[in-house]
């Protein structure tokens, strides 16, 4: 049992508390953080998510916000709930691993060039609009 808790703690230890001033709804920030773990391969089909109360503490939000995020992930077919047991990853995001690898290389190159994250995001947004 403690091995499972350690695995869960390791996966979620680098989650960020929700930025309540970002303009992005808190539940979507949770959804995005969980999806990011899936994309990076840290959460796979069958992985058990921490309990709702644990997620509440991890993200520093109200339990209803956590439930809304989990419901959104269920709606998207990415999470299933098992009554009395918890929530599990049940689907996969269909993202080309080569694209993710190329993005990693581009981000590293931007960081090495001294481009900060906000500037990089602005550039990506402008490129996205014009492609």
pLDDT digits (tens, 9 = 90+) for 16-32: 899 999 999 999 999 99
pLDDT digits (tens, 9 = 90+) for 31-74: 999 999 998 888 999 999 999 999 999 999 999 999 999 999 99
pLDDT for the residue numbered 115: 95
H-helix or E-strand containing 128?
helix 117-130
- Which tokens belong to 6? 């350690």
Distance CA 35, CA 33 (A): 5
Report the predicted TM-score, pTM, of the whole model to 2 decimal places.
Answer: 0.73
pLDDT for the residue numbered 96: 84
* Mean pLDDT, all residues of the chain: 89
Distance CA 24, CA 16 (A): 14
Contact 18, 61 (CB under 8 A): yes
């Amino acid at each position: 049992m403690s091995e499972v808790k350690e695995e869960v703690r390791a996966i979620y230890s680098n989650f960020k508390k929700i930025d309540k001033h970002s303009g992005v709804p808190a539940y979507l920030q949770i959804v995005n953080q969980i999806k990011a773990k899936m994309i990076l391969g840290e959460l796979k089909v069958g992985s058990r998510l921490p309990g709702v109360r644990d997620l509440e503490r991890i993200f520093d939000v109200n339990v209803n916000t956590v439930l809304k995020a989990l419901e959104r992930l269920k709606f998207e077919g990415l999470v299933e709930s098992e009554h009395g047991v918890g929530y599990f990853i049940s689907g996969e995001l269909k993202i080309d691993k080569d694209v993710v690898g190329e993005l990693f290389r581009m981000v590293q190159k931007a960081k090495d060039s001294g481009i900060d994250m906000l500037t990089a995001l602005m550039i990506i947004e402008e490129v996205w609009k014009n492609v």
